Amino acid sequence: MNEWLSKMTEWMNENQLLSVHYMKIKKGPHSFSGRLLQINDEHLLFYADDTKEVINLHMNQIDHIEHFG
């Protein structure tokens, strides 16, 4: 987990565009391209570039995150 935390901190500090795939309760899989704004013990806060909204995800919701590009 420390490896992921350091990678996510690097992405956040460099304001890199990410591709995020996650599950929404009762709605199934979703994805967006955005930037990581904040990390805490249980949640990640993203800014979705396309929809211009802030998305708060629980760590358990996230299926896959990778650098976009």
pLDDT of amino acid 68: 81
Give 28: exposed, middle or buried? Use CB within 10 Å, 0-12, 13-18, 19+.
Answer: exposed
Give the CATH number of the domain where residue 52 resides.
Answer: 2.30.30.520
Q: For 13-24, write each residue's pLDDT tens digit.
A: 999 999 999 998
Longest dimension (CA), the chain: 34
Q: How many domains does the chain have?
A: 1
Contact between residue 23 and residue 29 where contact means Cβ atoms under 8 Å apart: yes
pLDDT of amino acid 2: 80
- Please state, in angstroms and rounded to a whole number, the distance separating the CA atoms of residues 29 and 35: 19
- Domain limits for position 17: 2-67
